Amino acid sequence: MTELHAGNLFWPGTLKNTNQYEPLRQNRKTKVAVIGGGMSGAVCSYVFVRSGLSAIMLDRGRIAGGTTLASTGLVQCSNDIMLTDLIMQIGERDAVVLYKACRDSVNKLASIASGLSHDVELRKRSSLLYASSEQELSKLRHEYETLQAFGFDVEFWSSDDIAARFPFRKPGAIVAHGDAEINPYKFVNTAANDAFRQGLEIYEHTDVTKHETLPNGIHLLQTAEGYVIEAEHVVYAVGYEQDELRGKLIKTNMNRTFVMVTGVQPDLQSWHERFLIWETARPYTYMRTTGDKRVIIGGLDEALGLPVHDERALRARSNTLMLRLQKMFPGLSAPIEYEWSAPFGESRDNLPFIGEDPAWRNVYYCLCYGGNGTVYSMLAAQLLRDRICGETHPLAGIIGLGRRTLVGAE
Ligand SMILES: Cc1cc2nc3c(=O)[nH]c(=O)nc-3n(C[C@H](O)[C@H](O)[C@H](O)COP(=O)(O)OP(=O)(O)OC[C@H]3O[C@@H](n4cnc5c(N)ncnc54)[C@H](O)[C@@H]3O)c2cc1C
């Protein structure tokens, strides 16, 4: 079992009374069983139930207790891989289809959030993607021209444009409109609870340890306690545990990453329109603000899949993040209040793993690797809902498990 975070996390304190769900204590039947109650499982389950499909969602721990709890909640159309690079990798048509689907998914998430029973702090924000060095400027400008040519709502800001709005200067930046920030913990708990009230069965502390398929195609999921769920379709939304039940299914790079959250800032005037800010360097540093005027900053990825427990080692990373923040925003003085580290999975072709198992009928994966996991969860929910209902989604060949860029990956 992968340890999914370590440190003092910010989000649990933002939602005190979460619903608790009983473990599974009887055998059940359903149309769709969703294994995993993080962002991926919850968004899928929510969409399934709203589409009239009967569904059960199971988690071995608590809802939103996995990587989702470590997320920083940036919801962006742009991916870790730039559109220009994605075009080189998978061709113009598919790359643009995926980018447009990401843009639509940001809007879809906003629409779901606005219909939930509680405010989940989804706020529309623009993003500033700045060139980390002069050398990256021409690439960034090319990216801007490509995004603009395909109809994305972007601007290019010169160094002076940036300095006129922020207390820092960078060589240039793409400003993308229509992105968002979210409280991932509130979103997942609320979406799950609302779906529960509309018929979703949820079981926490329910570990799926065995999966068999009968000759008639019915799937049997067995829990650690020995109970069985019969399902026509199974969705693996297990986050970074993809290998556990399926063997070495896919190839991923596991790193660890770091997040620091400041105390409430007395004054955020210098932060132009509370933009989401990130950069072209890899690994990138990224930052956002919160509704209660804190700053969340993350990055410093390291090539190790285990989170850091040692308090002094964690504080050393937080201090580095704080220095980066204060270099850009010298007026922000609130101290470090929360800090954590967490494993972070990336696929070798920078795309998520969403779709049916090529060798196992009606078994699907919703593995939203990469920095855009929240948006990918939304894509997945729609794609898998369509697939379960017998329709083909335009993204199936682009992010599915049989895609060209995965075949032959080491
Ligand atoms: C530090 C950090 C910052 C991030 N920031 C962002 C961001 O700003 N924006 C963004 O879009 N993404 C971000 N991400 C990525 C994002 O957090 C993930 O894409 C997302 O949380 C993945 O959700 P998930 O549901 O797939 O996984 P998880 O949240 O890990 O949920 C999987 C669940 O499956 C359960 N499970 C696993 N196996 C079993 C089993 N056999 N039986 C029962 N249950 C099982 C686990 O208990 C777990 O709760 C960030 C990630 C990290 C680490």
Is pLDDT at 293 greater than 80 in this prediction? yes
Cα 3 from Cα 239, distance rounded (Å): 11
pLDDT tens, position by position, 62-120 = 999 999 999 999 999 999 999 999 999 999 999 999 999 999 999 999 999 999 999 99
First-to-last C-alpha distance (Å) of the chain: 23
CA of 73, closest atom in ligand 1: 8
Q: Whose CA is nearest to atom 6 of ligand 1?
A: 71
pLDDT at 244 (0 to 100): 67
Which CATH architecture is the domain 253-346 placed in?
2-Layer Sandwich (3.30)
CA of 343, closest atom in ligand 1: 53
Domain boundaries, the chain: 6-71+185-251+350-406, 77-182, 253-346
Phi and psi at residue 66, in whole multiples of 5°? -90, -135
Q: What is the CA radius of gyration of the chain?
A: 21
Q: Give the pLDDT band of residue 250 (cuts 50, 70, 90).
A: low
CATH of domain 6-71+185-251+350-406: 3.50.50.60
Enumerate the H helices of 254-366 as residue ranges. 311-328
CB atoms within 10 A of CB 108: 18
Cα 281 from Cα 44, distance rounded (Å): 32
What is the 240 CA–ligand 1 centroid distance (Å)? Answer: 7
pLDDT at 78 (0 to 100): 95
Q: Whose CA is nearest to atom 20 of ligand 1?
A: 68
pLDDT at 359 (0 to 100): 87
Higher local confidence (pLDDT), 337 or 304 = 337
CA distances from 205 to 21, 100, 374 (A): 8, 37, 23
Is pLDDT at 410 greater than 90 in this prediction? no
Mean pLDDT of all residues belonging to the chain:
95
Does ligand 1 have an atom closer than 6 angstroms to the CB of 288? no
**Are the beta carbons of 265 and 293 closer than 8 angstroms?**
yes
Cα 50 from Cα 264, distance rounded (Å): 37
Does ligand 1 have an atom closer than 6 angstroms to the CB of 41? yes
Percent of the chain with pLDDT over 90: 88
pLDDT tens, position by position, 179-208 = 999 999 999 999 999 999 999 999 999 999
CA of 375, closest atom in ligand 1: 11
CA of 286, closest atom in ligand 1: 8
Does ligand 1 have an atom closer than 6 angstroms to the CB of 61? yes
Does ligand 1 have an atom closer than 6 angstroms to the CB of 257? yes
Is pLDDT at 249 greater than 80 in this prediction? no
CA distances from 3 to 233, 240, 343 (A): 28, 9, 8
Cα 64 from Cα 132, distance rounded (Å): 33
Does ligand 1 have an atom closer than 6 angstroms to the CB of 238? yes
Long-range own/partner contacts, residues 134-140 (CB < 8 A, 24 or more apart): 134/171, 136/171, 136/280, 136/281, 137/171, 137/172, 139/82, 139/84, 139/280, 140/172, 140/173, 140/174, 140/280
Structure tokens at 363: 């078994």
Percent of the chain with pLDDT over 70: 97
